[in-house]
Structure 1
């Protein structure tokens, strides 16, 4: 069987639409006809070369939803016809981290960038002219059909639109969880969100839903500031300096309770500014992934020690995909979580490079590839 897919041959590089050969389905796997896939900055890191995958060529894309067409031996909880969303992080359910309720740190996640199967490192399910082709996060959602581990597929209510549902596989959980889980936002908190794109806008929603009295968005693009004000931000500023000053002005000079850094390509200085903006005992949450080739930092160490501040990393918003994705979709169905308005542009697979160009130009909150 063939699948049309967006393939990356080098990094930096440009995506090519090619026909790939799919291997027969194996035990523990499902084959899915893709219906929607989100364009995430994490994919673009590989395209521009900030990060390098473990194999070329590779199909990128890690945010997606579709319908199961075939189920491999040993798969018990999924069936042909089921609608599913992919968690870009697998959940083995057996490792130390899964057993302790930290599914986002599942040991299988170490293989995300290798392009290989989680359960069989060094093996692949796609090929081009007889040579193996990787799949980012063992998913490669920028393809018309994908073969994935059942550990990555979460069954959803078939009434939920695929385009909105696919966002919960990465962007929604990463941003929402960065505020609610990693930032520990509580009622009456003052929260700063640095960068209001596809991740940060969900941190805004999460902070607002957690009861923050002030959700301060920091974003240089004017329409994104206005968008944030519609989805839960109480104030919006162009720079972190303005936001930090305002946060201090409403907290007797203390500063925000938390700062969520969701800039697409953050620098050490961005993290340092977030840390400076929070009060004594406050939390700065690092979410965005910077250029892995650059080792920089600009952090005032006395903020960590003498003011007992915390610098907290956040992977997938410290979420539990098997329970949090269904919970977020249930919130969506009740009208408590806005997913539909996050989609500001739709593209065909053939137009995927334009989609990423628009993402980098700040034109989209979230672009989505829509399949037939």
Structure 2
């Protein structure tokens, strides 16, 4: 067996002390990476987006086995394939997918690969879908994989199901965002909700996922799209991306009293906080649906008036990875991007070298960044 050497961003313990630019939770380590197994590929990472799901591992909101090489939203080029991989080739450009899918469990068989039972189990264990880990530190100890990807690295070995081939014309930074931010936001609108032209939409939380939902709602012809966030610059960007109105959270109730029938047909919540989830439900009209996209801390709960669910025919839905079928939906997103209907590049706040990941974590935590693209040195 041969091994690839890669510089990777490793989290060895949960760190809540801020600013992260000073506490430096991430160390940059030279790791060894096993060759891909029969059903795996080796990818040279060309661009990786920083997502709140990464931050949630750093601060402990999402409990994961440590030490772990972080990063799950990325794009790159295949440099080696396992013996059983025949449908992607060395040199192909690919988007990384953060839920590997076995193709055989009940969820995969019913067209719900985002809920793959084996994929969820391997992600929770810090392993790849075929079992085990491919990363090792200088002492030979195993390093956990983050969501089957570990993209804050020069190289990554991933399951074949964790990549989707895209055209050479798609810039790596755009392609990276298709794997998480756009998959979740676009998928929640198109797959989970199936929003129709003319329906009304509210999106709460204008990070990468929320703004992707705004873009998708505009693309499908939603009648009114209200974008909600406390940060003025994010509200301004939402208006440029297709929202018909934008408001701070405290101003929404007054807006809904004017021509919204008491709420929206669809309300998408992308924050993952109990009070905001309750607010999203309140902003949903009779007969409408509240869709939760944000990942809350495991201890978070929320309450809604039980009677209203029945008496007002309300629906509450969760949306993980936007309920997408990546092998089908990412090519669709690429087509819409080529047509100018999914301006994914507008989500990018900054490009940074991977060595600035701790500083990027702080920019994300303080709410000033939407999506920062990291490139390995």
Of 354, 359, 362, the residue aligned with 2:359 is 354
What is the CA deviation profile of residues 282-306 of structure 1, one whole-angstrom value per residue up to 9, with x for unaligned ones? 00001101112x2331322122121
Give how far 1:63 is off: 0.5
State the partner residue of 1:317: 322
* Partner SS, residue 138 of structure 1: coil
**Is there any run of 5+ residues in structure 1 with no aligned partner, and where?**
none
Retained in 1: the 8 A contact 2:41–2:157? yes
Q: Distance in 1 between matches of 2:275 and 2:242?
A: 27
Of 254, 279, 283, the residue aligned with 1:245 is 254
Count of aligned pairs between the two proteins: 364
Q: Distance in 1 between matches of 2:88 and 2:41?
A: 8
Q: 2:288 aligned with 1:282, yes or no?
A: yes
State the partner residue of 1:7: 10
State the partner residue of 2:306: 301
* Partner SS, residue 137 of structure 1: coil
Of 241, 258, 272, the residue aligned with 2:266 is 258
State the partner residue of 2:20: none
Where do 1:53-72 residues align within 5 Å?
53-54=64-65, 56-72=66-82
Of 286, 292, 297, the residue aligned with 1:291 is 297
Give how far 1:242 is off: 2.4
TM-score w.r.t. length of structure 1: 0.95
What is the CA deviation profile of residues 231-253 of structure 1, one whole-angstrom value per residue up to 9, with x for unaligned ones? 010100011x52243234213x3
| CA-atom RMSD in angstroms | 1.4
Q: Distance in 2 between matches of 1:31 and 1:62?
A: 15
Retained in 2: the 8 A contact 1:36–1:368? yes
State the partner residue of 2:108: 98
Retained in 1: the 8 A contact 2:93–2:166? yes
Q: 2:195 aligned with 1:185, yes or no?
A: yes
* Partner SS, residue 208 of structure 2: coil
Where do 1:116-131 residues align within 5 Å?
116-120=127-131, 123-128=132-137, 129-131=139-141
Give how far 1:327 is off: 0.9
State the partner residue of 2:370: 365
Of 59, 67, 75, the residue aligned with 1:48 is 59
Q: 2:162 aligned with 1:137, yes or no?
A: no
* Partner SS, residue 308 of structure 1: coil
* Partner SS, residue 5 of structure 1: strand
Retained in 2: the 8 A contact 1:12–1:46? no
What is the CA deviation profile of residues 266-287 of structure 1, one whole-angstrom value per residue up to 9, with x for unaligned ones? 3222112111111111000011
Superposition misfits of 4+ residues, deviation over 4 angstroms: none
Retained in 1: the 8 A contact 2:107–2:115? yes
Retained in 2: the 8 A contact 1:64–1:141? yes
Give how far 1:72 is off: 1.2
Of 246, 268, 275, the residue aligned with 2:274 is 268
State the partner residue of 2:36: 25
Give how far 1:51 is off: 1.4
Q: Distance in 1 between matches of 2:244 and 2:69?
A: 40
Retained in 2: the 8 A contact 1:183–1:259? no
What is the CA deviation profile of residues 130-174 of structure 1, one whole-angstrom value per residue up to 9, with x for unaligned ones? 111011011100010111111111111011100110101111010
Of 135, 138, 156, the residue aligned with 1:146 is 156
Q: Distance in 2 between matches of 1:10 and 1:185?
A: 41
Retained in 1: the 8 A contact 2:355–2:376? no
**Is there any run of 5+ residues in structure 2 with no aligned partner, and where?**
17-24
